[in-house]
A = this chain, B = another copy of it.
Amino acid sequence: MSHARTVEIEGHIIDSGTMQRCFGAVMDLGGSFDVERFDVGTHEEAESYCRMQVSADDEETLQAILHELHQNGAVLENPSDVELVAAPADKVVPPNFYSTTNHPTEVLYDGEWIDVERIEMDCALVVDPDPDEGNGPRAYTRVLDAVEEGDMVATDQSGIRVHPPERPRSGGGAFGFMQGGVSSERPSESTIREVAAALREVKADGGNVMVVAGPAVIHSGAGEALARLVEAGYVDALSAGNGFATHDLERSLYGTSLGMDVETLEHPRKGHKHHIWTISEIIRAGGIEAAVEQGKVTEGVMYQCVENDVDTVLAGSIRDDGPLPDTITDAVEAQNAIRDQAHDADVVLMLATLLHSVAVGNCLPSTTKTVCVDINPATVTQLLDRGSAQAIGMVTDIGTFVPTLAEFVLEDDGESHTTDGDV
């Protein structure tokens, strides 16, 4: 095997599975490895180090292997500066551009490793030599749509190193490390209790909780419980669609939930007229916030989001009725709004929506804690596969999950912080 290169890998690379994946990648792709040095961390806290030569019969295979090793955190021995090529046009990347992972990443520029900002996968990596005039170079991810002619785009992977998540040294609590699978055999209520504890902990630490919610949250009767969580301050950002908001507003506009329940249980045509009428009324009011201010909307998730200044993004889709004036109908614009929410989130609850959850998941760094809940196991699996290293997946009924979660999250609050005891 005449084509060879030497790489180094370090960290908790045995118990995080890094070495398994690296050795596996070499063998799967038909290459060969020769370990030159391997220092094994002798106890839990000690990191390991591996230097090995990787070889293949041809350069193309070798590059494919190096690509995999790179994505697992390996770095070429004696790396050189990142190679930058100017984008030939707006929204066009140069040949052999580097496509980002969702892991923390650094680039070697002018002999120094600098952190890449706004980590997100499947982006171009752009280095700006001195954006802040005199403060030196900065590096960012940039989605294709945002690439501008002349942007200095990283090509090849030399001079770039990524840091895949490592197994936390201590338990990690509810959020397992790269569980991958979906724990359908765990007791449901115990798992919800763990999620509740994690939420309380994140909020206690001043963290940001993002909720991604589909219309099934409302259909299933869980809207009231979600509204309580918003009211109690457990939701910093809401990412949803036109359908979610309309169903929620319809509950408020048509009065008592009793009235709604009766209708839902009885009406064959499912009150679609109410749906359209709700949108029409919100348009007439001038938007959701205006409708709240005018006293037209007095309860529900959207009401609480307005009242509690929750950062709310309603993204449009081709299946929407209306839409509401608050809905961002342009997909690129909506993505950018979601991206900003996602980058701020410390924990993300994905509740019964595949479309919005995928959109949010696409923007999340692999370090963000994520909880995916859906009745469809395929949805949960698909979301977990997209990449958070610290994720909980639950196949359960959103109509019982949210009320139970709200109960567990708020039960201590009820005793200690509030006086009305309404939970």
Contact with B along A183-196 (1 / 0, CB 8 A): 01111111010000
> Complex Cα distance A399/B41, Å?
42
- When the two chains form their complex, are residues B279 and A144 in contact, meaning their CB atoms are under 8 A apart? yes
CA distance A190 to B219 in the complex (A): 11
Q: Given B99, B316, B335, which contacts A272 in the complex, CB threshold below 8 Å?
A: B99
Assembly CA distance A382 to B378 (angstroms): 13
Contact present for A331 and B335 (CB under 8 Å): no
Nearest CB of B to A74, in Å: 14
Within 8 Å by CB of A381, from B34, B42, B377, lies B377
Per-residue interface assignment for chain A, residues 362 to 406, with 1 indicating a CB less than 8 Å from any chain B CB and 0 otherwise: 100000000000011110010001000000000111111101100
Residues of B within 8 A of A86 (CB): none
Residues of B within 8 A of A5 (CB): none
Bitwise, A58-74 to B at CB < 8 A (1) or not (0) is: 00000010011001000
Determine the distance from Cα of A187 to Cα of B400 in the docked complex, in whole angstroms: 9
- Flag if A169 contacts B27 (CB, 8 Å): yes
**Which among B25, B33, B269, B375 is the interface contact of A268 at CB below 8 angstroms?**
B25
* Residues 189-247 (chain A) with a chain B CB within 8 angstroms: 189-190, 192, 219-222
Per-residue contact bits, chain A 168-181, to B (CB 8 Å; 1 contact, 0 not): 01010000000011
In the complex, chain A residues 318-348 whose Cβ is within 8 Å of any chain B Cβ:
318-323, 327, 329-335, 338
Residues of B within 8 A of A261 (CB): 187, 190
* A85 CB–B CB distance under 8 Å: no
By a CB distance below 8 angstroms, the chain B residues around A318 are 315, 317, 331, 334-335, 338, 355-356, 359
- Min Cβ gap A407→B in Å is 11
Measured in the bound complex, the distance between the Cα atoms of B38 and A36 in whole Å is 14
C-alpha gap A334/B74 in the complex (Å): 44
- Chain B min CB distance to A258 (Å): 10
Which residues of chain A in 1-30 are interfacial with respect to chain B, using CB atoms and an 8 Å cutoff? 14-17, 19-21, 23-29
A417 within 8 A of B: no
Contact B332 A331 (CB under 8 A): no
Q: Provide the residues of chain B in CB contact with A42, threshold 8 Å.
A: 34-36
A113 at the interface (CB under 8 A from B): no
- Check: A423 CB closer than 8 A to any chain B CB: no
**A92 at the B interface (CB under 8 A):** yes
The range of chain A's interface size is 35 or more
Query: Does A264 have its Cβ within 8 Å of any Cβ on chain B?
Result: yes
Cα A331 to Cα B71 in complex, Å, equals 35
> Residue A296 at the B interface, CB < 8 A?
no
Chain B: CB-nearest residue to A89:
B284
Q: How far is the CA of A231 from the CA of B275 in the complex (A)?
A: 42
A40 within 8 A of partner (CB):
yes
Residues of chain B contacted by A171 (CB below 8 angstroms): 27-28
User: Roughly how many angstroms separate A143 CA and B180 CA in the complex, as a whole number?
Assistant: 32
Contact between A43 and B38 (Cβ–Cβ < 8 Å)? Answer: no
Q: Which residue of B lies closest to A16 (CB)?
A: B20
Complex Cα distance, B358 from A293, in Å, reads 34
- CB-based contact B272/A122 at 8 Å: yes
Contact partner of A40 (CB less than 8 A), chosen from B21, B35, B68, B358, is: B35
B186 contacts A265, CB within 8 Å? yes
B24 adjacent to A167 (CB under 8 Å): yes
Question: What does the 1/0 interface line of A148-186 toward B look like (CB < 8 Å)?
Answer: 000000000000000000010101000000001100111
Interchain residue pairs with CB less than 8 A apart (21): A24-B167, A27-B167, A35-B42, A38-B38, A67-B269, A91-B280, A91-B283, A97-B280, A122-B321, A184-B378, A186-B221, A190-B265, A316-B332, A317-B331, A318-B331, A318-B338, A319-B362, A331-B331, A376-B378, A377-B381, A396-B396
* 7 further contact pairs, Cβ within 8 A, besides A14-B19, A122-B272: A15-B20, A23-B44, A187-B219, A189-B403, A316-B330, A318-B335, A400-B401
